Structure 1
Amino acid sequence: MSEFTQSANVVPSPSLSLQLPPLPSTSRGVGSWLATCPSDPDLLIYTAGKFVVVRSVADPYGPKSFVYRGHQAVATCARFSPSGHYVASGDATGKLRVWSCKTDDKKSKLEVQALSGPVEDVAWDGESKKVAVAGDGGGGFHVKVLTYDTGNSVSECVGLTKKATTLDYRPCRPFRVVAGGEDMRCVLYAGPPFKRECDDASHSNYINCVRYSPDGNSVVSVGSDKKLVLYDGKTMAKTKEWANVHAGSIYAAAWHSSGDKIMTCSADKTVKLISMPSGDVLSTCTLGDKLGDFAVGCCWSGDTPLAVTLSGLIRVLSPDFSAVASTISGHQEPILSHSLSASGDLYTSSADGTVCRWAAGSRACERVGGGAGADLNGAVHSGQASTVDAVAGGCVSTGWDDTIRSGDGTTSNAAAGLGAQPKCSGSSADLCVLATKESLTCYANNAVTGTTAITYNALCVAVNATSDVVCVGADNNKIYVYSASGGALTQTGCVEGTNGPVHSLAFSPNGESLAAGDVKEVRVWNVADWSPLIKGKWQFHTSRITGVGWSPNGEFIASAGTDENIFIWCVAKKMKRLNYKFAHKGGCVGVDWIADGKLLSSGNDGTVAEWDVAAEMAEKFK
């Protein structure tokens, strides 16, 4: 497999020890598919932007998680094969990909143009040989069945006059496919080759989900009309119908492996456990009272029920549906900024205004609360959260709502006005410096302590560990040096000599050196007299360097850029380097060392990654 092909699927480096993926993509009024692996119910699969995410339910922030990056358009649905060896996933351009989830490179088995419009749902036959897709096919062909390895069409199924939104494949012989969609009818196809057998028009609004029972004897449909309909799995004769099962649209239904109960999730912010075939509601779990608590997807992980909300959070429910047992958190949108605290907690901010704290050690994630957009997704800022900085006792964030918010790392305090949109920031434990188009603002102890006017366009800020020296990188290829005292900044110098705008800065642990990254080169300066220590040698990035970081022992520098590369440089052996390619799809946001030989990075793909590079460093820089 070529380097490019491999990079298109997963991060190729074996030094990637942990990948913390984004949350499911969600949209109001539309369901979001969750599924688990039939052969390993601990493995959860869902789509997030252009990615397909697989992660452990029991250890959601552990090493079993990975992000599949083979789609070039927004991924819309994904399901494991019954054997557990393959995944079928569809995207917004109508492409279907089948790929191995058991190999390290997640090698592609098939890519085919399955439909002319978006693939909305996908299902496997019980023998892991055929894949059915539903979506917008055009010309009345909204459902298609293909062989998993060659992509040959088994059937192009007519019967639905509008877009198909859901389908399922009967898991046993005689095989059947049931599909539903925007024309409010469920259609049964018998085969192969699959031909329309019959249909049912019990629903009075869009059908959002159809699912077969594990034994194939029954199939249920749910829709935006709040109905639940039960059919015979072989003939699709209607068995029973229940109206107003929920107070809002029902987006998904999932059978328990026992086949005697299902769970349903709804826009009324509840998930219900329902006995089959009686239809009795055994239990109801309310997920919250905010707009973001709409339940838009659900599935079972063994006996553990899971639901995803409009906010993207994955709720792990207690088996009796009495409460939310835990929450899997993270970002839904690209990460814009990250900052590592002295204790090892990582803070990240994203384009939807959310700020997350990833705990040291476990890397368990929690969204920082108390912000302006808390009703939808718990966002700290009503606009994008541009910057986040770790400070003693918590973090400081800024956003496009032109405010500063600080807090203890769990909840943010009331906003303070910044007066302009923030551009960049930097911090030590005691001082945070925020740059706008017109000024530098010093922020300490939850208050603005001083403002300094500037005449240049600031791109990055660094504050040394003792909080008395501040450096600001600018788009005029200069680094401006300030002394900090009493909450005020005084310019003491200006460093020139970079090859382009300065996009990243970092002081060495002892404060004696400064690393700077521009559009392709990393340079190191002596803070005492601002003479260059290293220049003209580390020029291997191909675009903007978004982050630089020093190892705790001060002997190595890591750099990350929008070219998706992470480099490791040795101060003593300047001609050697380590390169980790395709680290983050769409570009890296930042990189830090959590220990000598261990890196932490984040990127525009919404993921946080840990890298164990000690062995490769020992070999390369020996």
Structure 2
Amino acid sequence: MADVKLSETYACVPSTERGRGILISGDPKTNNILYCNGRSVIIRNLDNPQKVEVYGEHAYPVTIARYSPNAEWIASADVSGTVRIWGTHNGFVLKNEFKVLSGRIDDLQWSPDNLRIVASGDGKGKSFVRAFMWDSGSTVGEFDGHSRRVLSCAFKPSRPYRIVTCGEDFLVNFYEGPPFKFKQSLREHTNFVNCVRFSPDGSKFITVSSDKKGIIYEGKTGQKLGELSAQDGHQGSIYAVSWSPDSKQVLTVSADKTAKVWKISEDGNGKVAKTWTSGSGGVEDMLVGCLWQNDHLVTVSLGGVVNIYSASDLENDPLTLSGHIKNVSALIMFKSDQSTVLSCSYDGLIIRWIRGVGYAGKINMKDHAPIKCFAAVEGEIIFSGFNNMVWRAPIQGNECGPVEQIDVGSQPKDLSVALNAPETVLVATDSGAVLLNGLKVLSSINLGFTVTASSISPDGTEVILGGQDGKLHIYSVSGDTLTEEAVLEKHRGAITVIRYSPDVSMFASGDANREAVVWDRSTKQVKLNNMLYHTARINCLAWSPDSTMIATGSLDTNVIIYELGKPASSRKTIKAAHLGGVYGVAFADECSILSSGEDGCVRQWTVTLQ
């Protein structure tokens, strides 16, 4: 049977939240960065963005991850208040897990000697901050002084050790230790203080706030030194700040959709050296995260666009990366172009990837989100949401032409396009089917059973509708008339997906009871039996272009590849292909399969036949 290896990951982008900054962090020794999406921590290399690893061991959504100063370990924290400490030596190795706070952790930082970690966030009573030993979890100090959620914390990277915290009570608190004790509250801000960071040399720290100010303090005493100049300053909340490696500049990002590089003088005042404006000015272009990583300046927008600038040449155009934030529910490959992949997520984002290159642009359909059913033919996309509308739109590269719509009378459950007659679209609804020619309804038929999946033959002369009852109903199409030709019974669960083989001699179906079946189209007999190796519902399936292999993707997180002519038991399983479940599969060619899922990632696997 075939051997399967992961060849590329087109990564999700960081989870973002309006009105709140996000944290991305870097490896002290390489150009790897860490960010979080759902329950995943993404490790990504800025020099080669396709080089991606995903850590998915948290039970709850992850909020922050950071390398230790010696780069040996990573500490990541989640919304339940749990911190996990793990390494990446020969796979992922868990060192420790501690319950640190009773609510969401918003920030954490290591001490420079790699022995202690401070975490801040939401807690019960007054426990918004905790510092602990990395090996035992024992607490090192008392952190009084905050009355509301603590959004950020920082460890002074040189002796004598200090910890600074800031948050929603407008306070910046300064602690000396270890063991750490409250020293003073700094009350310079008049709104949420979103981020605090020490300079790499430990001589200063900076706080940035929703009051549009950045204030610089002396690192050892906490005495205020100066401010970021209001001239050319930010016009909105400043969400994040990051120092340059030489401690002489900072990068800030703001809700005003700009990123700024500031030169920090010895006396602690900041002047703008460079301003970049994000996007075309929509809400999605607000900037919520940033990182100065060696020669790379990284910014992240609310819509998940990552821009990477060169610190040594601020005039250079950035490298732009993007991707999905949410579940990727559909993958499309076109016959005429085997290098391009379209992926669609529930939130209305359609992304174009080039195999071997990665991100190649996006089509934003958020005005029409959420997208429930999605199909595409050369140069056109067809999709529907949770109302009665089906939309069609021409696409040219990353541009989408005028979107036209038709009301099909009830909510679409599935839609399928006749590939050789793309004007013809079959829309499955709760109790029947609608045949469309372009934006005209040819016929609307009530079939008397609950339809859960559908497929139309490439020439548009036959349709198969799968029911809640597990039966497959086959109809011939003549003009606007459907005539029932056969009913096939084998499935023991609701049909979830039906696909014709590229040579149109077979079709395959999958169900909610984890079984897939391959059928001979002319005899209506089962062609491949016992495809029962998933442990949960089958969400998607795809044929190889030569009609010799089938791939199924399931809620159980696995992709299984079967070869026709061989027993199902000789299958190849890709285990844990996508955290949370697989929702899209597609063959690029006989040797490459793509998958997508709940984790927001698209992966390419190389299949080697033996």
TM-score for the superposition, normalised by structure 1: 0.89
| Whole-angstrom CA distance in 1 between matches of 2:314 and 2:444 | 55
Q: Which structure 2 residues correspond to residues 549-564 of structure 1 after superposition, within 5 A?
A: 549-564=542-557
Q: CA deviation at 1:196?
A: 1.7
Q: Which residue of 1 aligns with 2:256?
A: 268
Is the CA contact 1:354–1:368 (under 8 Å) kept in the aligned structure 2?
Answer: yes
Q: Which structure 2 residues correspond to residues 470-619 of structure 1 after superposition, within 5 A?
A: 470-484=463-477, 491-518=484-511, 519-535=513-529, 537-574=530-567, 575-614=569-608, 617-618=609-610
Helix, strand or coil at the partner of 1:553: coil
| Whole-angstrom CA distance in 2 between matches of 1:451 and 1:122 | 60
Q: Which residue of 2 aligns with 1:287?
A: 278
Helix, strand or coil at the partner of 2:58: coil
| Whole-angstrom CA distance in 2 between matches of 1:74 and 1:54 | 16
Helix, strand or coil at the partner of 1:517: strand
1:418-445 per-residue CA deviation (whole Å, 9 max, x = no partner) reads 333221123353434332335534456x
Q: CA deviation at 1:274?
A: 0.9
Question: Quick one: which amino acid aligns to residue 490 of structure 2?
Answer: G
Decide which of 202, 215, 226 is 2:201's aligned counterpart: 215
Is the CA contact 1:285–1:322 (under 8 Å) kept in the aligned structure 2?
Answer: no
Q: Which residue of 1 aligns with 2:223?
A: 237
Greater RCO between the two (CA within 8 Å, min separation 6)? 2
Question: Quick one: which amino acid aligns to residue 16 of structure 2?
Answer: T
Q: Which structure 2 residues correspond to residues 153-232 of structure 1 after superposition, within 5 A?
A: 153-232=139-218
Is the CA contact 1:338–1:387 (under 8 Å) kept in the aligned structure 2?
Answer: no
Q: Which residue of 2 aligns with 1:7?
A: none
Number of aligned residues: 589
Cα 1:428/1:109, change in 2 over 3 Å = farther
| Whole-angstrom CA distance in 1 between matches of 2:479 and 2:354 | 32
| Whole-angstrom CA distance in 2 between matches of 1:465 and 1:318 | 49
Q: CA deviation at 1:307?
A: 1.1
State the percentage of identical aligned residues.
Answer: 31
Q: CA deviation at 1:509?
A: 2.5
Question: Quick one: which amino acid aligns to residue 497 of structure 1?
Answer: K
| Whole-angstrom CA distance in 2 between matches of 1:149 and 1:467 | 65
Is the CA contact 1:336–1:385 (under 8 Å) kept in the aligned structure 2?
Answer: no
| Whole-angstrom CA distance in 1 between matches of 2:416 and 2:367 | 19
Is the CA contact 1:442–1:488 (under 8 Å) kept in the aligned structure 2?
Answer: no
Decide which of 46, 49, 56 is 2:45's aligned counterpart: 56
Pairing 1:346–2:341 present: yes
Q: Which residue of 1 aligns with 2:307?
A: 315
1:377-416 per-residue CA deviation (whole Å, 9 max, x = no partner) reads xx251x3111222311243222235341322252333231
Pairing 1:113–2:99 present: yes
Decide which of 440, 454, 457 is 2:450's aligned counterpart: 457
Pairing 1:296–2:288 present: yes
| Unmatched 5+ stretches in structure 2 | none
Question: Quick one: which amino acid aligns to residue 239 of structure 1?
Answer: L
| Whole-angstrom CA distance in 1 between matches of 2:48 and 2:195 | 28
Pairing 1:18–2:8 present: yes
Cα 1:403/1:570, change in 2 over 3 Å = closer
Question: Quick one: which amino acid aligns to residue 65 of structure 1?
Answer: V
Q: Which structure 2 residues correspond to residues 353-368 of structure 1 after superposition, within 5 A?
A: 353-368=348-363
Question: Quick one: which amino acid aligns to residue 427 of structure 1?
Answer: V
TM-score for the superposition, normalised by structure 2: 0.91
Helix, strand or coil at the partner of 2:284: helix
Question: Quick one: which amino acid aligns to residue 596 of structure 1?
Answer: E
Question: Quick one: which amino acid aligns to residue 561 of structure 1?
Answer: S
Q: CA deviation at 1:488?
A: 6.9
Q: Which residue of 1 aligns with 2:405?
A: 416
| Whole-angstrom CA distance in 2 between matches of 1:14 and 1:209 | 44
Cα 1:403/1:515, change in 2 over 3 Å = closer
1:184-225 per-residue CA deviation (whole Å, 9 max, x = no partner) reads 121121221111222211111111000011111110001111
Cα 1:110/1:405, change in 2 over 3 Å = farther
Q: CA deviation at 1:478?
A: 1.7
| Unmatched 5+ stretches in structure 1 | 1-12, 372-378
Helix, strand or coil at the partner of 1:292: helix
Q: Which residue of 2 aligns with 1:5?
A: none
Question: Which region of structure 1 is more displaced relative to structure 2, 338-347 or 271-280?
Answer: 338-347
Q: Which residue of 2 aligns with 1:429?
A: 419
| Whole-angstrom CA distance in 1 between matches of 2:55 and 2:270 | 38
Is the CA contact 2:217–2:223 (under 8 Å) kept in the aligned structure 1?
Answer: yes
Q: Which structure 2 residues correspond to residues 101-140 of structure 1 after superposition, within 5 A?
A: 102-140=88-126
Helix, strand or coil at the partner of 2:412: coil
| Whole-angstrom CA distance in 2 between matches of 1:327 and 1:149 | 39
| Whole-angstrom CA distance in 2 between matches of 1:448 and 1:176 | 70
Question: Quick one: which amino acid aligns to residue 128 of structure 1?
Answer: N
CA RMSD of aligned residues (A): 2.3
Q: CA deviation at 1:235?
A: 1.0
Is the CA contact 1:297–1:307 (under 8 Å) kept in the aligned structure 2?
Answer: yes
Cα 1:232/1:115, change in 2 over 3 Å = same
Is the CA contact 1:404–1:418 (under 8 Å) kept in the aligned structure 2?
Answer: no
Q: Which residue of 2 aligns with 1:148?
A: 134
Pairing 1:95–2:78 present: no
Pairing 1:251–2:239 present: yes
